[in-house]
A and B are shown apart, each in its own frame.
Chain A
């Protein structure tokens, strides 16, 4: 089963859960399953149209999905998927 690492800012919407494990064929399926289980996450990940917000970076292993097949990137069992937040600090 693929494992999704949830960044700290999103754990507020997953009751503190940091890892989500799920059988999923693609990155899109995995993220959809996560959002179905934790609906509060939905606006933080997806646009109203349902597509992943353009600035969110998702990695399968060390590879950015933009360099793979995007949300349609196929997942193997034991793949580790990560959502990387933008940097906060600044102003």
Chain B
């Protein structure tokens, strides 16, 4: 028996691993309503690809290359943009062809960035969100298995494992084991599931607060209203201690406050995480609340122009 030949692209990818994770933990000083409650936010856009998705995308891509599944095939996935951009950056560097199914109504910057990085974009129905993109990707992988390897971030354990192995550990260490609450929105649910599981292993008293958009339609790109959307396979409903709802309107208001009071120019979904953290802080007398800011405002010019004229 001979050992399998390693895909040489794996070595290239491994050289990029330093661009993933170890993001700054930012003290949110002015938005916390209680002196005894500390709020911290991971600035997740400070990675390759400019979002939290560097973590799962790198892990998913690396696993796919290591398994040999991408020999002679294109990486295929459905994405609302950020995972796609992260795949595209790592893949461009390692010479891996990428095809993405993305809803037609994704922001113009995202589509432009993806095209610039050489991604083959398949635009899917604007009425069906990423649920529709997943259907198209699945169909393509089924009809052309020799051409595509569908990695499916919504079902891929490498998604939440990236957060289990890294984000959760970083939060534990960076707060010097003081973290009492972790607050994060649900999209693919990878961030919440992986980070939450790891934090509970460190200290089962840490409270895990999941956030969802209050309404089926919302302006929080990246979040899922699980009642009306397809629930990702990797979601584990036993992980959250509590689930709270956040409105788009309160997130837009927070986006403005974060810019003026904290110097943080962030995306609507990052602002929604801050809304969740601040609302929780109002109910506590003391604690160390940590959330993640998935991306900054760069890719949301239409919203920013309206909110911050």
Contact = CB atoms under 8 A, between A and B. Distances in A.
A8 B80 contact: no
A9 B80 contact: no
A84 B187 contact: no
Contact of B217 (A5, A45, A47, A89): A45
A67 interface: no
B99 interface: no
A10 B217 CA distance: 8
A12 B216 contact: yes
Nearest to B292: A91
Contacts of A47: 249
Contacts of B187: 88-91
B120 interface: no
Contacts, number: 127
Nearest to B103: A87
A38 interface: no
B222 A89 contact: yes
A91 B191 contact: yes
A47 B127 CA distance: 22
Contacts of A10: 216-217, 228
B210 to A, nearest CB: 10
A6 B125 CA distance: 12
A43 interface: yes
Interface in A10-49: 10, 12-13, 43-45, 47
Interface residues of B, number: 49
A21 to B, nearest CB: 16
Contact of B229 (A6, A9, A82, A83): A9
Contacts of B188: 89-91
Contact of B83 (A43, A57, A85, A89): A89
Nearest to B80: A89
Contact of B248 (A13, A43, A55, A90): A55
24 contacts: A7-B129, A8-B127, A8-B128, A44-B217, A53-B215, A53-B248, A54-B248, A54-B252, A55-B219, A55-B248, A55-B252, A56-B217, A85-B129, A85-B216, A86-B221, A87-B222, A88-B223, A88-B224, A89-B79, A89-B129, A90-B53, A90-B80, A90-B187, A91-B185
Interface of A: 5-10, 12-13, 43-45, 47, 53-57, 82-91
Given A82-B127, A88-B129, 9 more contacts: A6-B127, A9-B216, A44-B217, A55-B252, A88-B130, A88-B221, A89-B130, A89-B188, A90-B221
